[in-house]
Copies of this chain bind each other. A is one copy, B any other.
Amino acid sequence: MTIHLLDIDHVGIAVEDLEGSVERYRTLLGIEPVHRERVEDQGVDEVLFAVGSSFIQLLGAIGPDSSVGRSLATRGPGLHHVAYRVRDVAAALEDLSAQGAGLVDRVPRQGSRDTLIAFVHPRSMGGVLVELVQPG
C-alpha cells in the first residue's frame, strides 16, 4: 500500500456564475477567497477558499466543451469532485493502477498552485470523481 491520504485537499463545486457564487460564499459562509487561477488545459476558472486545513474550490467553465462545462450542462451546478492530498501522486497512481482502478490520468500533470494532480475515474469510486493532489 503506497497511497496515504494526508487530508481532504479540496471539494470542487461547479458553478454557473463564478463571481456571484464567490459573493454568496463570502456573505453566507463568511469565508474569503485566497486564490484565483485560470487553468487553461482544464478549461476552468477556479477560486479557492481556505476552510481549516482544506479548501473549497469554486469552478466556473471557460467554455461549454470543458469538463466543468459538460458537467453543468448534464448535471447542473453542484458538487463536482473531491480531492485528497497525498505526498507522492505518482506512487499513488501506481498503487491504484496495480489494483485495477480506472485512471483518467496515468501520469501526474500540473495543477493550480504549482501542485501535481491526477484524476481517478468515477466508475472506480462509486460515481465520485476523485482527484489526487501533491502540494508544490
Interface centre among A21, A79, A85, A125 (most CB of B within 10 A): A79
Number of copies: 2
Interface string of A44-88 (1 = CB under 8 A from B): 000000011110100000000000000000011111111011000
Q: Does A34 sit at the interface, judged by CB under 8 A?
A: no
A86 CB, min distance to chain B CBs, angstroms: 10
A124 and B29 CA atoms in complex are apart in Å by: 11
Chain B min CB distance to A9 (Å): 9
Contact pick for A52, options B7, B15, B16, B28, CB 8 Å: B7
Partner of A28, one of B6, B8, B82, B124: B124
A76 to B127, Cβ gap below 8 A?
Answer: yes
CB distance from A66 to the nearest CB of B (A): 18
A contact residues vs B (CB 8 Å cutoff): 1, 3-8, 11, 13, 15-16, 21, 24, 27-31, 51-54, 56, 75-82, 84-85, 96, 99, 101, 122, 124-128
